Each structure stands twice: as structure tokens, then as C-alpha cells.
Amino acid sequence: MAPTPDITLYASIHSRSFMARWMLAELGLPHRIVDVDIRRRRHKAPDYLRINPMGKVPAITDGPVVVTENPAICLYLADRYGLGTLAPATDDPLRGPYLRWCVFATAVFEPAVYLTDQPDDDASASGRGWGRRETVLSLMDDLLAGGPWILGERFSTADVVLGSVISVALFTGRMPATPETMAYNDRISAREAYKTAAAANWPPPS
């Protein structure tokens, strides 16, 4: 019997909540939303700090289960509600690359493109988990050129996790807009679930 979702998403507009919103939309999962408005500092309220002591959004609860950190949220949802579809099964050869790129998104790619005040030479990068920014960007172009998706012909949660970070980095100018990254961003942003999440996360000014 398929598990019954009992999901609450703790999110704020204009935040990294986009990734979790997109994941929930791709899976078509019913869920409640609790507004943790970062502009009003609701993410530092005691009730929310009991959910995520880091005071960051997003977070989810699924019944008694609490999950924080965007990649962990997406991996949890994919394994519980999309195993074999948006998440390769544990015996699928694509499982390894899938996990690699999901973790790469925020452990390597995000710090590499956002911490641009640090030197990008080999000596400086040797002690950093994400290495050189130049190497990361070159790797992204090579990966996305093989498309259409991170796992080739198969769309997966890796596209939600890494694709979210790429899309925002392109929008904010944190990474160069190459033909490969722009074509990939066009593909992911054409998905209905992406559009649904984007409209919720970045609503037009009222």
C-alpha cells in the first residue's frame, strides 16, 4: 500500500523554498503550507525554531517526520513517494549519479558560485570541499550538454535539486549564461511543476 502523505511545508516567498515547492509539485503531493515569512522574521520565532533550530526555510513535516535542508527534503520525498520514477531505485545503476548530483548542488555548486570573494587558484581551493569555481562551471557545461536532463533522457529529482540552484544562479548573475546552461534552464522552466512553484515562491508585487 502506498504511503499516505501528511505533509506540511514551512516556507516563505522570495526564498530557497522554491526547490521544495517544485519537488512537491512534480510529485503532485497534497500538502499544507505554513507561512514562515522571512521578511517578518517568522523563521526566528520559537515555534519554528522547534522545527528547524537553524531558523532557515524550507522545512517539512510528514506526520511525525521532520526534514530540513532542501536536498534532504527532496531526497526524502522522492524516495518515499517517487521511488522508481523521480528517484532511481536502489538497485538502478543511475542511483549513484543521481545521489552525486543531488549532493553536488548545495555542497559544491552553490558555494562555488556564491563565495566569489575567495581566490580561485589551485592552492587556495585545495582545502575547500568545492574546489575551484572555474572547474565547477566547466563541469556544469559538460554535464548539461549531454542532456536533456541531469541523468540523460530521464528527468529526476536531481534536476529539481541542481536545476533549482542553477536557475537562481543564472537569474541573479552568479554564474555565466552559457548556451548549455541557458538551454537547460529553458527546459526546466517550461515544466508545469516549475511554473507552479515559481508563481508561489516569487509572486508579483501586490
> Which cell numbers in the block locate residue 71?
536536498
Residue 206 pLDDT more than 70? no
The CA distances from residue 108 to 55, 82, 102, 202, in Å, are 22, 25, 10, 25
Check residues 29 and 116 and name the one with the higher pLDDT: 29
Residue 182 pLDDT more than 70? yes
Residue 73 pLDDT more than 90? yes
Q: What is the chain's mean pLDDT, rounded?
A: 94
Model pLDDT for residues 114-147, shown as the tens digit of each residue: 988 887 788 777 777 888 889 999 999 999 999 8
Q: Are 112 and 131 in contact (CB under 8 A)?
A: yes
Instruction: Say what the pLDDT of residue 179 is.
Output: 96
Q: Name the residue type at position 71.
A: P
Model pLDDT for residues 85-104, shown as the tens digit of each residue: 999 999 999 999 999 999 99
- 545521489: which residue's cell? 99
Instruction: Say what the pLDDT of residue 120 is.
Output: 74
Instruction: Say what the pLDDT of residue 43 is.
Output: 92
- Average pLDDT in the 169-187 region? 96
Check residues 204 and 203 and name the one with the higher pLDDT: 203
Structural domains in the chain, sorted by start = 7-82 (3.40.30.10), 95-191 (1.20.1050.10)
Model pLDDT for residues 58-72, shown as the tens digit of each residue: 999 999 999 999 999
Instruction: Say what the pLDDT of residue 116 is.
Output: 83
Q: Are 161 and 151 in contact (CB under 8 A)?
A: no
pTM higher than 0.75 for the full model? yes
Model pLDDT for residues 39-61, shown as the tens digit of each residue: 888 899 999 999 999 999 999 99
Q: How far apart are CA 130 and CA 52, in angstroms?
A: 25
Proportion of the chain above pLDDT 70, given as a percent: 99
- Average pLDDT in the 141-164 region? 96
